Structure 1
Amino acid sequence: MNNQDFRKQSTDQSRRGNRIPKNNVKREDVDTGHIDSNPLVKKKNLHRFVIGLVALGAVAGFIITSGSSGSRVKIDAVKANGGVGLGVSAGTILATTDDAGMAARDFNIEMKQGTGDGRALVWDYAAEDGDVVTIKVNGAVVAENVQIYHKPVSVNISVPSVVEVIGVKDGGGGITYGIKFPGAVGNSAYFNAAPEGSANTYTIK
């Protein structure tokens, strides 16, 4: 091999050694084992990542909105129905504060035929802020100065009878409570307000 051929071969090898590989991968990255992704792939991955974040945010927003509006719709429906929650379970929470705007009412409760002694379940349907009530059955005190919470308090009653819930202490924002009589026709709960010194009457038939 003469000098001219040797120089030509060296030049060809040098060119091949410095040739930039396909897919825009830099030579030094190949040598070190660190290969950058194709820019088109990077763009697609970024696009998918952004779409994923948007979708996740939408789902989270839906859950939060549903959770906050669910109570709002329920309490509005109860208020529109005169404080009666049709088929609502005892212990149901309608609001997070006591300023729900529920009016004080008296109710007539019809029990199912054959119902003897019964129960009254009483709870705070809004904030647990120290509301206190006294409960009477046929004029006799059966539960005095009871602080109500989200967990219902059970009081034995006779059927028929007249049950009174008297507001004793307002923990703040008004005395708010729910009451349910298991065995009543319609299986409803009743949501009420009892300002201090006032009473709500439930005539059990």
Structure 2
Amino acid sequence: GCKRPTFHDEYLPTFNKPNVHLVDTAPRGVQKITEKGIVHDGVEYPLDVLIYATGFQWMATSTFDMIKGCDGRTLKQTWDEDGTKTWLGLQTKGFPNMFVITGPQGGGGSFNFTDTINDHGEYVQWMLDTMAEKGADVVDITEESQVEYAEHCAQADSATQPLRDCISYYDNEGTAKPGQLVYYGGGRWHKYRIKGQESLEPYVFESVVGQ
């Protein structure tokens, strides 16, 4: 019940056909593939054709293991060791001038995903304009701001139990800690954004070019 609903009159009735055998492999799929077919729960199911339609790597998370921050750690190492902490899901302390669009804690679970991308893009444009006005070429965030937002995400996580119970990329195959879901399901993203943009308290601006 946690996957996307199907909108087709013939899809679900297909499973009731006499030549169709439905095997529930939740939550982690089949156990292995053999020369004759697939094995799940100790039973081998012979197949003539196996179609790989089990999913794909939709987010370029490998990039998180390539980019290093100011302390020499990659973004993946930072999140693994310190916990996933971001400001609006877009910025992480120690990775100046880096914006992760639709990343962890960044939104998308409770509203239209296209709108989320648009909101994130507008935020980045606002930041570039603000940096230009301040004569800054580097922007980072404070530890306090990302801790506060991460704590809010952890609290909002309690309202996304259906996503947490669903083993998928939403929750890192069931291993994500509270507040680290791919999608932020809370309702205060814009409130935090507006407050931060008005006060500029979450940000640390610097000018290093020419120094």
Fold shared by both chains (TM-score > 0.5):
no
Structure whose residues are more often strand by fraction: 1
Q: Which has the larger radius of gyration?
A: 1
TM range (shorter): under 0.3
TM-score (norm 2): 0.26
Structure with more of its chain in helix, by fraction: 2
- Return the structure number with greater relative CO, CA threshold 8 A, min gap 6: 1
